Chains A and B, each alone.
Chain A
Amino acid sequence: MSCSISLGQFVQQPSQQLAINALPHIQLTTPRCLLLGPQRSGKTSLLFQYAFQLACSGQEVVFMCDRAQLDQAPPLLPFGASQQHAAFSRIHFKYVSDLHQLRKYGACLHLLQQPPAAIIVDDVAHLLANTRLPDKRARDTEVTRALAYLADGLDQLREQRGLSVLLLASDTCSEEGPHNLYLLQRWFPLMLQVTGPPPHVAGRVLTLAVAQACKQSVPAAAARAAVNYTMTQSYLNVEHVQL
């Protein structure tokens, strides 16, 4: 079972994984990672790709998301995977509509008899937008509290029961950058950024790489690494690994 998240885990082909994993390891071995990107940049599909990778190796994954949002824009399948693939039975969807529900899950993590290998949270910004709070301070406080409960629950699973549960979350940011980066970066030592042309551009290629805000904490070679994806109507396909 993997104890940390890295860029190599977002590709399927072993040769591509080897190429990325041959890079100098980032200084931080972290079980928590944040995926940043603008709206409709393929973040959910990338999270799902990651979940599928873990599920293929026999690990259970909890995928937390807003059901309405998922129905509107379901994730693309990993390239070559059919809808009947056995690994999908190990991906458990937990529908949450706002940060209050995410916080409740974090508060109850220690009650799980068999925690999953990874918890994936799709779009913190969307959950925040759905959370009715009076002002910015209240919204910031709720983001901090929800992530604190989640992180503390996972830390204590590791310390008390020796279980390493990975946490991978995504957050939607504008072209200027993520609005809540100062809130989020304290929980996620590793941040990856998705960039690429708008959704209407035919044959668009997405790039997944270490986020600018995180590049100083990783070796230069790892900071330059990137994975290029294409998105067809149904599939997410790794085109190229830049080293």
Chain B
Amino acid sequence: MTAQLAPSITQVADQCFEELTTHIENQGQLTIEQMSKMSLLLGRNWQKALQVVDQNEVECYIGESSRRHIFQVRGKSGVYITFAKTYCSCQAHYYEVVCKSEAPYCKHQLAARLALALKRCPVTVVPDTAIAQFLLDS
């Protein structure tokens, strides 16, 4: 018998994002119902993420051989390195996500996932060493 735990908000958010991504691949756009669901689940970070995507502030870089990808998201204080599901170099990620666990993701992470799903961010193939340099320079 395995332990049965209630899913965490992060797991629920991931599930909703997968459904959302599948829908976008099939239909090409979001529905109002999906927008409402994500807004209810993720709160103000979802609203802010939509603004970030609308302002075309997300860029994706992918290593040409390794296919390791990272996101760069422009913010108020500069450009943040973002791993869509696990990390962002912004302060909000540290305080809200890591320290206080108030949110599963910061707005930059949500914007990165959404922009990629909606094809609203340029995807640039770069040498693998460039990916390492991006990470080391951040």
Contact = CB atoms under 8 A, between A and B. Distances in A.
Are A and B genuine complex partners? yes
A155 B86 CA distance: 10
Interface in A133-169: 137, 140-141, 144-145, 148-149, 151-153, 155-156, 160-161
B99 interface: yes
B5 interface: yes
Contacts of B87: 144-145, 148, 152
B1 interface: yes
A162 B83 CA distance: 19
B37 interface: no
A199 interface: no
A149 B135 contact: yes
B17 to A, nearest CB: 16
Interface residues of B, number: 22
A217 interface: yes
Interface in B115-138: 128-129, 131-132, 135-136
Contact of B2 (A27, A137, A145, A182): A27
A25 interface: yes
Contacts of A24: 1-2
Nearest to B83: A152
A140 B98 contact: yes
A104 B1 CA distance: 41
Contacts of B89: 145
Interface of A: 24-27, 104, 106-108, 110-111, 137, 140-141, 144-145, 148-149, 151-153, 155-156, 160-161, 182-183, 186, 216-220
Interface of B: 1-3, 5, 63, 66-69, 83, 86-87, 89, 94, 98-99, 128-129, 131-132, 135-136
